[in-house]
Structure 1
Amino acid sequence: MSVRSGILAVLSLGPAYGSQVHGEVETRMQRAGTINVGQIYSTLDRLQSHNVVILDGMTADGLPLYALTAQGRAEVEAWLTQADPRAGWSDFVGHVLLVASLPGAPVDDLIEAYRRAHSMVPGQPDDRSDDPLAVLGTSATRILSGSALRWLDEVQDALAQGEYARPLDSLRPRRGRRPRLDAT
């Protein structure tokens, strides 16, 4: 899952400032500490230049708020239900988790799209292949697809038990380091 898609998904909840978007993407995808905040800001700049995101005012303390344009909203709508069969494991998991965290998002449609993608894996390598690496590659794909299908079962069971969707977090993170306590 691309950082771009994660940013747009978070902004589908409403206007947000850069570090707020960063925190939301990381916590909703369970990727704490893996996305550089600078990457968020550079992606927001690119999204603005492509007319997908606009500046939509400022916070009370002067931070710019970013919001989706109609084009950005259309891109998010498509992304919410489109499985990426070439996605790596962490991108696949992040995509499902982020969509599950969005109120009103069609997470069941996304799960079904991923089920279809992971159900269409090759059973055996080409019979004409004498390449042992082809056999191992096919085996790995089959095992990962089976794991993905089992995990999607767990996701659906969990979603049936409780609500995972939540609005944007309005709690502002503390900036800078905490003051050092003197031992005297």
Structure 2
Amino acid sequence: MPSIRPLRPADIPAVLDIQAANYPADLLEDHAFYANRLELAPEHCWVATDAEDRLRGYLIAYPWDDGLPPVLGAPLKQLPGAASTWFLHDCAVHPEAQGQGVAGRLYRHAKGQARRARLRQGRLVSLSNAIGYWQRHHYQPVPADAALKAKLAGYGAGACLMQRPLDTPDAEHA
């Protein structure tokens, strides 16, 4: 069973390795991106480690507003002051640890922190191959107008903005 702890700056190289093992090259974000999100929202950035303290997965999230998602890979100067949304930016698991419940454990832990922070809804941009996974966690697609479609194009073909209220219980076996 993995342990969950806050992301540390020294963890970012391992995060980059896990990211590279899970995503195509055109969606990879750099060290500065993760350092930026960790600096802005350390209480919403988590890692799962094994008994030897090796990173098995990570989850990057932060408070956001109800508008459009941020530009993929772009640094943020600050978070919105009136944030009511928990924006789950990324959750990935090392290939050796996939299928062991790491993502679900990270998600439940991080969602609990979002609830404690009194964020009311969760939002994320799902890649096309993960939409079903997020639907099992009660996320539903947000209807896309022209502005949202333009923003989602930067996340890859078939990307979908999804949301859910944070007070809804999760599916038991997602």
**TM-score, length-scaled by structure 2:** 0.31
Mark the structure with the bigger radius of gyration. 1
Which of the pair is proportionally richer in helix?
A: 1
Which of the pair is proportionally richer in strand?
A: 2
